[in-house]
Amino acid sequence: MGKRKKVSADARKESLKNVSFAKLRNVPSSPRKMRLIVDTIRGMEVFRALGVLRFSNKDAAIPVEKLLRSAIANWEQKNERRAESGELFVASVNVDAATTLKRMRPAPQGRGFRIRKRSNHITLFVDTKNMASKVLSVSDKNKDDQN
């Protein structure tokens, strides 16, 4: 690794020490289906989001609920106290595509149809109200810049 990349990687690691987050990698569900679930809880209070995920009909909600519980536990560990109702919010959630397993299915006349078994990575950030609003406003500004 070059010196410039090492310096930026160390700076990124140092900035993540102050933020509570949880990652879930290689979830065997398509990113498109996972984003439907994640979009419903983005910016929501964490205990309300847990209720929404608990009673969701989607199978993709189960790993997201576990991930949210893990992020809450990480926040409690860093701050050395229990989270109170109305204190923590889902600051941001990212769903990225992971590796795709490619399979072949027999088709008529000797052809083969491709089956793509998709998977995804989820990163969930949890923070208090004032910090969550800052993170959301920064992400909104980035979306406005892209448009």
Give pLDDT tens digits along the chain (147 positions).
789 999 999 998 888 888 899 999 999 999 999 999 999 999 999 999 999 999 999 999 999 999 999 999 999 999 888 988 888 999 999 999 999 999 999 999 999 999 999 999 999 999 987 655 555 555 555 555 555
Give the position of tokens 């140092």.
14
- Domains in the chain, please, with CATH? 21-146 (3.90.470.10)
Q: What is the distance between the alpha carbons of residues 28 and 49, in angstroms, rounded to a whole number?
A: 22
**pTM assigned to the model:** 0.80
C-alpha gyration radius of the chain: 19
Please report the pLDDT score of residue 33 as a whole number. Answer: 96
